[in-house]
Structure 1
Amino acid sequence: MSKDILMIVGDFGEDYEIMVPYQALEMVGHSVDAVCPDKESGETVKTAIHDFRGDQTYMETRGHDFELNATMAEIDPSEYDALCVPGGRAPEYLRTYDAVIEAVQHFFESDKPVASLCHGPQILAAAGVLDGYEMTAYPAVRAECEAAGCSWVDGVVRDRNLVTGQAWPDHPEWLAAFLELLGDEINHTEPAAADD
């Protein structure tokens, strides 16, 4: 059954963490409204690509322009079945918007499915909704997640209505867990072995 999903994005959110979930959720029949505070439907956010090349942290390069298809000031979180909060640099400033915090709190107060990845849990921590959850995020934000009351677990984690992952390499497992939470049937199969 198709679900209406709210995705909160912003400038320099992680490209893969916005594009891949948006397209995958739409591909299986869900409707995704991507919004950003202070921007309207039809405007774009600039994304960033974070790559891991053996340094102590990730390298950031310019990604794509991602077009918003809804206006945050006009949406009502109660009309959505689930929430997706990607990572990247955007969460560090998105968490300063009251509308973002209130939207996140609605999904937790209503026990609706929430998926968050990488730095996205910075918004959840700011919203004060992580107390008592087992979860993960990008390892560099572990301290602020734990300060918000969660128990840290490495790898993709599903605890009640919340699915979290550490970064875009977690997409297959993270998206599968979110789709299962949404009520989609997921068939886990091993990839076919390549012929030698």
Structure 2
Amino acid sequence: MAKKILMIVGDFVEDYEAMVPMQILQTMGHQVDTVCPDKKPGEWVATAIHDFEGHQTYSEKPGHRFAITADFESVSVSEYDALVLPGGRAPEYLRLNDRVIEIVKQFDAEQKPIAAICHGPQILAAAGVLVGKQCSCYPAVQYEVAAGGGQYIQPAASMDSAHTHGHLVTAPAWPAHPAWMRAFLDVLEG
């Protein structure tokens, strides 16, 4: 049965963590609405591509234009079955938006599936929804997960693992897409 899924993005969202999950979910027949504060349908956000090339941290390269398909100001959580929070640099400022936090809290309160990857859990921590929950994320975000009352789940060395805790499905970075999306689809369809 097709579901309606909300994805919150912003400029310099990680390209793979927005585009690939959206395409996977659409391939499975689900509708994915992409929104961004201060952006309207038909506009776009710039993405960044983060890669693991042997440096002390990931590198960043210009990505693509990622289309906004729905109006952020009109979001009604009751119309959606699930939420996706990609990573990249966008979560660090999206978490400062009161409406983003309100939306996340409502999805959590209603126990609707939430998928977050990489830096996406920064938004979960800011929303206060990690208390007593296990959460995987990019390793640099582990301190925010802990400060937000969550238990950090360390990813496999290959960064390709996902973790499910109730309605929350999290992963460390885009190499985890197969595991992350498989687990999210299990929760979504469960």
* Post-superposition offset of 1:56: 0.6
* Post-superposition offset of 1:154: 2.1
Map of 2:158 onto structure 1: none
Map of 1:194 onto structure 2: none
The residue identity in structure 1 corresponding to 2:107 is F
Q: Tell whether the 8 Å contact from 1:135 to 1:151 is kept in structure 2 after alignment.
A: yes
1:27-42 map, 5 Å: 27-42=27-42
Give per-residue Cα distances to partners, 1:56-96, cap 9 Å, x unaligned.
10100100001110010012112100000000000000011
The residue identity in structure 2 corresponding to 1:8 is I
Map of 1:161 onto structure 2: 167
Which stretches in structure 1 are left out of the alignment for 5+ residues? 185-196
Give per-residue Cα distances to partners, 1:37-56, cap 9 Å, x unaligned.
00000000000000111111
* Post-superposition offset of 1:152: 1.4
1:151-190 map, 5 Å: 151-155=151-155, 156-183=162-189
Name the TM-score, length of structure 1 as normaliser.
0.92
Map of 2:133 onto structure 1: 133
Give per-residue Cα distances to partners, 1:8-37, cap 9 Å, x unaligned.
000000000000001110111000000000
What do you get for the CA RMSD once the two structures are aligned? 0.8
**How many pairs align?**
184
Tell me the distance in 2 between the aligned counterparts of 1:151 and 1:97. Answer: 24
Q: Percent identity?
A: 57
Tell me the distance in 2 between the aligned counterparts of 1:5 and 1:26. Answer: 10
Map of 1:55 onto structure 2: 55
1:104-115 map, 5 Å: 104-115=104-115
Q: Tell whether the 8 Å contact from 1:35 to 1:71 is kept in structure 2 after alignment.
A: yes
Which stretches in structure 2 are left out of the alignment for 5+ residues? 156-161
Q: Tell whether the 8 Å contact from 1:78 to 1:106 is kept in structure 2 after alignment.
A: no
Q: Which has the larger radius of gyration?
A: 1
Dislocated runs of 4+, deviation >3 Å: none
Tell me the distance in 1 between the aligned counterparts of 2:104 and 2:88. Answer: 17
